[in-house]
A and B are shown apart, each in its own frame.
Chain A
Amino acid sequence: MSRSLRIAAAGIVAFGTLYALILAVLNAPQMQVNLPQQVALNLEQSGIDHPITAVLLNFRSYDTLLEVAVLLVAVVTGLALRERDALTAHTEQARDPMLHALTRRLLPLLLITSVYILWSGSYAPGGAFQAGALVAAAGVIARLAGYDIASRADVLLRLGLALGFILFLTVAVSAMFGGRPFLNYPEGWAGSLIFLIEAVLTFSIGLTLISLFVHAPGDSSPRGGDDDD
């Protein structure tokens, strides 16, 4: 097939899709249920003042539970792909005094910010995923500055990775012992339970993102750097 023919075919497909999308947007069916209104009406029962956190960890907590499970599976796969001898290769690095000082001042700041974001999740924008990303950013900075935290505590790291999911699942299942449905928080305890889950999730998500970065297959692995030729 010649080049111009291929471009024409791609153009027709692209514009066809665009046309279909425009039609779909213009002929969108009317919303049967006003979801924001439903959330606002039931916000008091959720134990959380911020509607988005309430949706994530109370009304649609099943989705969040599965998201955390997906993250856990991803990091387990990442750990399986890492190389065995790479951990010792990077530990001996000459430390720049400036870098050392900057990292030592940046890390506590990042961790405090992440705790604030976690705490503010109950009444303002914020929450476990954002705070976890900040923890991960702190870990990545520490790693780039030559501190190898992740490989120093391998067993602890694995435990920490699974901890968030385990606690979430425990809380979800323990509701069933009291005869309540799966993932239903007991009356009056919803707010504090959600905060507990979020705190542990922050820790686990941060560790997950750090270990995805630290244990990425490097240049000495057989698959690393197989680009061209």
Chain B
Amino acid sequence: MIVFDILLGIGLILAASGVFLSAQLFRSVVLFVVFGLLLAITWTRLQAPDLALAEAAIGAGLTGVLFLDTLGTLRKAKHKRHRKKETHS
């Protein structure tokens, strides 16, 4: 089990640094959700199933959905602005 724990810790650090270092926002969001799920597993390993439930549902699930929603909105706004620029010029 100690191997699994070490792998889990390494995975957490990798996912967290991926969230900050990746250039694409979409990849950051996906890695954020991955990070949340890994953290939920970590909480269960630390014998805190209540926290694990909350983390999986709110941290990974709902926050990820909100981030994706924001990304979609940003993308739409960018498209609109591009189209406006093209029609003006």
Interface residue ranges, A against B (CB under 8 Å)? 52, 117, 125-127, 129-130, 133-134, 136-137, 140, 209, 212-213, 216-219, 224-227
Known A-B contacts A133-B61, A225-B78; A117 and B69 likewise in contact (beta carbons under 8 Å): no
B65 within 8 A of A: yes
Chain B residues within 8 Å of A52, by CB: 50
CB neighbours of B54 from chain A (8 A): 129-130, 133
Bound CA span A209–B69, Å: 14
Q: Quick one: which of A52, A136, A219, A224 has the most chain B CB within 10 A?
A: A219
A117 touches B53 (CB 8 A): yes
Whether the pair A126, B53 counts as a contact (CB closer than 8 A) is: yes
At the interface, yes or no: B49 with Cβ under 8 Å from chain A?
A: yes
* Other-chain residue from B62, B73, B74 in contact with A137 (beta carbon distance below 8 A): B62
Nearest chain B residue, comparing its CB with the CB of A140: B65
28 A-B residue pairs with Cβ-Cβ distance under 8 Å, sorted by A, are A117-B53, A126-B50, A126-B53, A127-B50, A129-B54, A130-B50, A130-B53, A133-B54, A133-B62, A137-B57, A137-B62, A140-B62, A140-B65, A209-B62, A212-B66, A213-B62, A213-B69, A216-B66, A216-B69, A219-B76, A219-B77, A224-B73, A224-B77, A225-B73, A225-B76, A225-B78, A225-B81, A226-B77
Please give the distance in Å from B52's CB to the nearest CB on chain A. 8
Residues in chain B near residue A129, CB distance under 8 A: 54, 58
Bound state CA distance, A217 and B74, in angstroms? 11
Q: Complex: how many Å from CA A19 to CA B69?
A: 39
On chain B, the residues within 8 Å of A225 by CB distance are 73-74, 76-78, 80-81
A125-B53, A130-B53, A130-B54 given; A136·B62 CB < 8 A: yes
A130-B53, A130-B54 given as contacts; is B61 within 8 A of A137 (CB)? yes
A213→B65 contact, CB < 8 A:
yes
- Chain B neighbourhood of A216, CB < 8 A: 66, 69-70, 73
- Please give me the residue from chain A that is nearest to B53 by CB atom: A130
CB-nearest residue of chain B to A137: B61
Which residues of the partner chain A approach B61 to less than 8 Å between Cβ atoms?
133, 137
User: Within the assembled complex, what's the spacing in Å between the Cα atoms of A59 and B70?
Assistant: 38
Task: Enumerate B28-55 residues with CB–CB distance to A below 8 Å.
Answer: 49-50, 52-54
Residues of A within 8 A of B65 (CB): 140, 213
Q: How far is the CA of A129 from the CA of B50 in the complex (A)?
A: 10
- Tell me the bound Cα distance from A54 to B10 in angstroms: 34
Tell me the complex Cα distance, A137–B56, Å.
11
